[in-house]
Structure formats: C-alpha cells, structure tokens
Amino acid sequence: MHDLNADLHCHSTVSDGTLSPEQLAQLAKENGVALWSLTDHDEISGQQRAAAAARAVGLDYVSGVEISVSFAGQTIHVVGLGIDPDDATLRSGLADTRDGRNRRAMAIGDSLAAVGIDGALDGAQAFAGNPEMVTRTHFARWLVATGVCRDTHEVFRRYLVRGKPGYVAQQWATLQDAVSWINGAGGIAVIAHPARYKISTHEEWALFDEFKAHGGRGVEVQTASHSDADVAKYSALAQRNGLLASRGSDFHSPGESRIELGALPALPAGLTPVWRELHSRIARAT
C-alpha cells in the first residue's frame, strides 16, 4: 500500500497550473497514477470537473485544495484532502483567502514598475485562467515571456521574494482556520512541502505542534522540492509525530515542473500513507 502511485498535489488553470483539470486527468492516467487529487490554491471550483474527468479516464479520485496560511511571518501551505467541496464554511473561508489577491497583484505591479518593469499587472492577468487567482506564478511567467528572466526559477531568485522587487507581504488564513475548515468539511489536513519553508528548527517544531493541536493529521514526505535527505527527515518526523504521510508532485506545468505528474519515487516503507485514511472519500473509477 505504501508504494501506490498516488499523486495528491497538483495545480490546474483554476489556480496557477497551465493544464485544465481534464488535461491533468488524462496526463495522470497516461503516467500511471492510481489515485489522483487536484489541489488548486485557495480554490475548489475545479473539483467537479476534476472528479468527472477522472471518472471518464478511469482514475480513482479524491478531492483537494491547497490553502495559503500565514505562520511565523512566513507563508505555509496546508493541503486538504477528501474535503466536501460543497461545505459552506470551507467555501467562504477560501473566498476570504482569495480576497485581497487583486489588491496585492496591483501592488506587485507597482513594485516592479518602480524598478523599470512596466505592464506587469496586465501581463500577469493575461496569464491567469481565473481572475480571482492572480498569483506570483503568473507574474513569473510574464517575466519569462517578456525576456526579463530566462526561467521561473530565475524569477524567484531575483524578483517576487522577500527583499527583492515585486515582493508584497500578504496576510493569508491562520493555521487554525485552515485546519478547521478542512476538518469541518470532512477532510484531512496535510502540511505541504515542509522543507521549503525558511523557518528555524524551533519554529518548525511549533508549526507541527500547533498543527496537530488544531487537528492536522498529515505531512507531505514525497514531493518534487524534497531532496533524499528531506524525505528521510520528514519520514522520521511523520513517525515521531504520528502523522500520516502524503505524496504529491506539486505539478504545475510540463515546461516548468521538475517532476512530471505521477513520477515521484514511492513513499518509504514503514510510514502510514494518508490514503489509508481516505478510503471512504475516494471516488472509485471502477
């Protein structure tokens, strides 16, 4: 069971991916995914399409979302798996979280204009598939398309990050709210890509402590941004904290993502995979 090809983290045009939910379902099937979840940022309007497309191609599906959270002055991402997309509290919480993205996008445009890069807001909006979800990824794609940077990795070194042009701090959901929306909607909350956060050991300890206290239950162990050492570290952390282990590529785009949908290594043995607890929430294709 630990070596099931589950891919429980990816993005469509509903947030900052470049493929539609239907194209992702097709790609997941082609790449041998056995259990799939679409986890768009702060938005569940793609869930019905993803579930229908998964059924059409013969793929087991579990609903998902990736919620932006502010914690210790950082942005942390919490994935919710098996949530009821019709849950009213989750829906209004996500709407509140999306609110303010347009104001932030304007401020990002102004900040880039201040260093001589004009037209970024219009450019980013043209790349966004969902007008409520103008993300830094869309600014990054525009900065590449206009030749300011070679690729999005260069963008996130030179722009849009703290201390660099185009960085605008944003207040997202609290950890407690995100976990309670997910739990209230019948889902399982999972800390996404933990190795990516620039937080101290003490803050990380506090993050997992508070996450568990609020009812969080899982951690991504296998994800594209984790090195082998990170996988080992978070496997041990999952075991020590009694957390379920998840696996998700965080796939955004064929041109940008380091790992294809469904192409991650298996979870290490000895962990409890999150899908063990998702049985009742999985829409079986057959």
Q: What are the residues binding Mn ion (CB under 5 A)?
A: 16, 66, 77, 192, 250
Size of the site for ligand AMP (CB under 6 A): 10
Q: Is 68 in the site for ligand AMP (CB under 6 A)?
A: yes
- Minimum CB–partner distance for residue 107 and ligand AMP (Å): 12
Provide the edge-to-edge strand list for the sheet that holds 74-81.
64-71, 74-81, 188-191, 218-223, 244-248
Nearest-angstrom CA–CA distance, 6 and 262: 7
Could you give the dihedral angle defined by the CA atoms of residues 60, 63, 69 and 72, in that order, rounded to the nearest 10 degrees? -40
Residue 162 near ligand AMP by CB under 6 A: no
H or E element: which one contains 81?
Answer: strand 74-81
| 60 scored as a contact of ligand AMP (CB under 6 A) | no
> At closest approach, how far in Å is the CB of 194 from ligand AMP?
15
Chosen residue from 103, 150, 153, 284 binding ligand AMP by CB under 6 A: 153
- To ligand AMP, the closest distance from the beta carbon of 152 in angstroms equals 5
Give the residue with the Cβ less far from ligand AMP, 78 or 271. 78
Cα distances (angstroms) measured from residue 207 to each of 47, 70, 176, 233: 28, 11, 11, 15
Compare residues 41 and 217 and give the one whose CB is closer to ligand AMP. Answer: 41
Q: How far is the CB of 68 from Mn ion (least distance, A)?
A: 8
Give the residue nearest to Mn ion (CB).
77
CB nearer to ligand AMP: give 70 or 176.
70
Question: Binding to ligand AMP by residue 252, rule CB under 6 A?
Answer: yes
Q: DSSP per residue over 194-248, as a string?
A: GGG----HHHHHHHHHHHHHTT--EEEEEETT--HHHHHHHHHHHHHHTPEEEEE
**Contact range with ligand AMP by CB under 6 A, out of 129-137, 180-188, 235-243, 273-281:** 129-137
d(CA 134, CA 15): 8
Query: What span, in angstroms and rounded, lies between the C-alpha atoms of 74 and 143?
Result: 24
Contact status, residue 217 vs residue 190, Cβ threshold 8 Å? yes
If binding is defined by CB under 6 A, does position 193 make contact with ligand AMP? no
Asked if 18 is part of the footprint of ligand AMP (rule: CB under 6 A), the reply reads no
Give min distance, CB of 132 to ligand AMP, in A.
12
Among 81, 84, 76, CA closest to 8: 81
Asked if 12 touches ligand AMP (CB under 6 A), the answer is no
Compute how many other C-beta atoms are within 10 angstroms of the C-beta atom of residue 255: 10
Q: Which residues bind ligand AMP (CB under 6 A)?
A: 16, 41, 68, 135-137, 152-153, 156, 252
